[in-house]
Structure 1
Amino acid sequence: MSDSPGVPAPPPGRRAEPLQRLLFGGVYGTVLASGLAAALDHNNGQPDPGYDAVWVLVTALASAAAHGYAHAIAHRTAGEATVTASTARSVLTEWPLVAAALPTVAALLGAYAGWWGENGAINVALTINTVALFGWGLWAARVAGRRWPAACRAGGVDVLLGLFIIGANVLSK
């Protein structure tokens, strides 16, 4: 229902879309940043956490742009002459993916500033990201109308993604 008389309410699917993009971008960006952080390996050279932070951010930006562009192209109709504005809007709506990568970037920049070593930054980022994954799963389930126990289970499943990345990191090194 709309608050204004005579103005129809937006369809339920369109109203939920921004929240769905936020939740999708949050989970996807968190997993992406975790995977990138876990992949950092400097066995052949000196660690450079500033360089690594820039590349995590650039990869998140490129992933967001690619996803937004692909989404725009997938929804393009044959009759549209130009999709420049809608494509730009679609790319800009992927900001949650980039925002979710910022804790990892911040941890690496902390290592660059000398607050801790790069391995410590990676451990901090993976821990924060795993906790964030629980939060994303919990929030998504609550938004979907699930009760607290089911929402906690959903958060727990998301935590498994983080633990998988941590386990793969440990096993690969």
Structure 2
Amino acid sequence: MEDTGNTEDTETAAGRPHRHDTGTREAVLFGGVYGSVLACSMVAALTQYGHTSRDSRRYDAAWLLVTALASALAHGYAHYIAERAPHRRGDALRALADEWPLVAAVLPTVVLLAGAGWGWWPASGVEYAAFVLNITLLFTLGLVTSRWSHRPWGSAVAVGAVDAMLGMVVVVANAVIK
């Protein structure tokens, strides 16, 4: 089947939907951005009251992972039920599996929080490292996906900066609300 550059799903000769690379790239960007902003928000929410013990950091890591899995499940399920085409066996599992970028995006923050809980580094102040990590991840996702789309470097850097601003909004909101 000839690639027309269309980002929509197309049918393969066997009648199964086939996603073009652009769709996969969009899923990685969407899931990555959503997961990184979710991680920033959760870290801000979970550390709002200043609990910095190792136990609380392990708790924070567990809740971040549970929240990411629940968000991925809800988003995948929403895609599945919103699909207008008849469903085939395994479509629900494929819809859920397509949400892997969201979960993958929160894993670095989960490791950072869990590591603080396990004593690998100080538990106090780890939220600042988590914010920097996620803002960097947001910038990188925007930059890389823009370059995948053959955008010029200037545009790619601008897209990365806009993505990073999403994380900055959470950091600023956290500082103002505290």
Q: Does 1:68 align with 2:61?
A: no
What residue in structure 1 maps to residue 35 of structure 2? 29
User: In the alignment, which of 151, 157, 172 is matched to residue 146 of structure 1?
Assistant: 151
Name the aligned partner's letter for residue 62 of structure 2. V
Deviations 1:108-159 (A, max 9, x none): 1111012334342211111010011110111122122210011101111111
- C-alpha distance in structure 2 between counterparts of 1:61 and 1:67, whole Å: 10
Secondary structure class of the residue paired with 1:73 = helix
TM-score, length-scaled by structure 2: 0.83
- C-alpha distance in structure 2 between counterparts of 1:119 and 1:62, whole Å: 27
Give 1:70 shift: 0.4
User: In the alignment, which of 88, 95, 109 is matched to residue 90 of structure 1?
Assistant: 95
Bigger drift between 150-159 and 139-148 goes to: 139-148
Give 1:10 shift: 5.1
Secondary structure class of the residue paired with 1:76 = coil
Name the aligned partner's letter for residue 74 of structure 1. A
Contact 1:110 1:121 in 2 (8 A): no
- C-alpha distance in structure 1 between counterparts of 2:46 and 2:124, whole Å: 9
TM-score, length-scaled by structure 1: 0.85
CA RMSD of aligned residues (A): 1.9
- C-alpha distance in structure 1 between counterparts of 2:49 and 2:29, whole Å: 36
Q: Structure 1 unaligned segments of length 5 or more: list them.
A: 1-7
Q: Does 1:19 align with 2:12?
A: no
Return the structure number with greater helix share: 1
Q: Structure 2 unaligned segments of length 5 or more: list them.
A: 8-18
Deviations 1:76-104 (A, max 9, x none): 33xx3x55510110101101100000111
> How many positions carry a matched residue from both structures?
163
- C-alpha distance in structure 1 between counterparts of 2:174 and 2:83, whole Å: 37
Give 1:44 shift: 8.3
- C-alpha distance in structure 1 between counterparts of 2:148 and 2:49, whole Å: 44
